[in-house]
Structure 1
Amino acid sequence: MDHDDALLNVRDLKTYFHTLDGTAKAVDDVSFYLDKGETLAIVGESGCGKSITALSIMGLVPQPAGKIVNGQIYLNNDNLLEYPERKMQDIRGDKIAMIFQEPMTSLNPLMTVGSQISEMIQRHRGVSKKESWERSVSMLEKVQIPSPGKRARDYPHLLSGGMRQRVMIAMALSCNPQVLIADEPTTALDVTIQAQILDLMLRLKQDYNTSIIMITHDLGVVAEVAQRIIVMYAGKIIEEGNVFSIFEDPRHPYTKALLKSIPKFGNRTEHGREPLQEITGIVPNLYTLASGCSFHPRCKEAMDICKLKEIQLTDVGDGHRVRCLLCDQKGEK
């Protein structure tokens, strides 16, 4: 699905990894769009293709094994896949920025955090060292780091996990990007800090009018954050819709299972707390995917035809798309 007037359009994206074990279709025929000022969540278990989709947009697919073999990625109607590497370096951090999953491995341990943000501003804005440093300190203040002038001179290992994540957000937003990709931005943080980081991202989104792609394995995280949700499994989009339709009327068995695995406050029985429902089986090996629907080995509703037929995304109304033969059935609560 694409909208010509959208800020970002990803069409028929295929990113494969060619190794000695064979070819892994990490992203297989993925299409979606992102509107201006919108927050889009991409969810699914580890290994479903979420992060590779983001790295494909950024032009950072690990090479030589990884390669984008098909598709278009349009930003403001310009196909990023046609850009040479030098031009993509101008795009990264300026028009599209990314918050990586683990800030400790993403920040340079040999440079102060202020210098790293300042370097980004100098690279894309061409300002003096003094002005870039002042802007970097200002960004640290905006992400609510106490004593920003002092902290700007600290090295990453001197900061807590939550503060390092705030530094990553400050760096990503330092050049006011049009698109911010957040790859599991709260995974390594405790629940209290998670809430603070999410609130901070939403506030800064409003301040800078930035569109956000939030990548996570936790549907609970995006309930109050995103306008639309994409559910991925084994490199494919299996369900897409607005937050209300996904939470209130899930159609794909995998989406239903993900929702049932979210802890809910007050879920108790007469014998104590109600146990969470687990998704049976394991994430499939991308080198040896089963024929037909990739989820059928784990699906309680699978039919014989699911093992044989390639399932297509079906629009069930209001932009709600589902890759399932049972998609015309209402989701069970």
Structure 2
Amino acid sequence: MKDIPDKNLLLFRSCLVSVEYPGIESSTKYVFEKLGIDYGISEKQTCCTGLGHYSDVFDQVSTTAIGARNFKVAQNLGRPNLVMMCATCYAINKKSVKLLNNKDDLRDEINTLFEENGLDHLKYEKNDLTPTENIFHFVDILYGKKDEIKKHIKYDLSQYKIATHHGCHYCKVHYEDTIAGVRDPNIIDELIEACGCKTIGWYDHKRASCGTGFRQRYSNPDLSFTATADKMNSLKDEGVEIVVHLCPNCHIQFDRYQPLISKREGREFKAIHLNISQFIAIAMGADWESVVGVQAHTSKIDSVITELKEVES
């Protein structure tokens, strides 16, 4: 397994997290602080361009140039380890580092653009960062602290039936860097186990997409929501009450559109949807509103988690 840092981290802010589920960010900060993880945030960091890039609005040169700029922001702060709260940010930034290190013509083109616009200080030198040593998803960081997580659990959530969804851009883009499996992904399952709970493990459609497909949600909604319904039906058949994932776009598809899928399928889906940082924060005793941000959820969390029982000492 790759070395996982716990210091000199720049927590990379996500557009979708900030707009849709800010509780993911506050929960991640809460859990990091509980675990003594050294992180910072920069107001100079910009969007990774993910939504625009995968919808063919931003070309690869523009996306990689923005990545190079964000990498320099991190380096200048002395925090060269970028940690993503969004699977798309993870995939985009890891690819940008690989391209900047391996495509001399692309790196030269971007550095020329910086120079022509008076941004020499942003120039990227080959191997300034490396994809395996400097670009992480926050689940990677938490995985390195699994044993420490166990020491901070206050509430027992083991009474609920829990399943996981890992997200395409974590498991299906950079296979070689994915922790705990890609064909049967289990990194979230293992983090939930660190909280004293068991998931249902493998289920039909576990590895399937949430159905978003970025523009597919809007340009081809029937296909998009059919894929989502397949997954929701599988989870319903298993009696799942809590679905835990690591990507805000997946979160939107499952949580915001669950009422629509229920109507579409003629079947009521009642599961609640949590990011893994929110799940761990709840288990650690975080405030539901100021930290977990339950008020931003469409499927109300207290419709399933009706009581919190303290862990027996």
Common fold, TM-score beyond 0.5?
Answer: no
Q: Which has the higher contact order (CA 8 A, sep 6+)?
A: 2
More strand per residue: 1 or 2?
1
More helix per residue: 1 or 2?
2
Could you tell me the TM-score, scaled by structure 2's length? 0.31
Could you tell me the TM-score, scaled by structure 1's length? 0.29
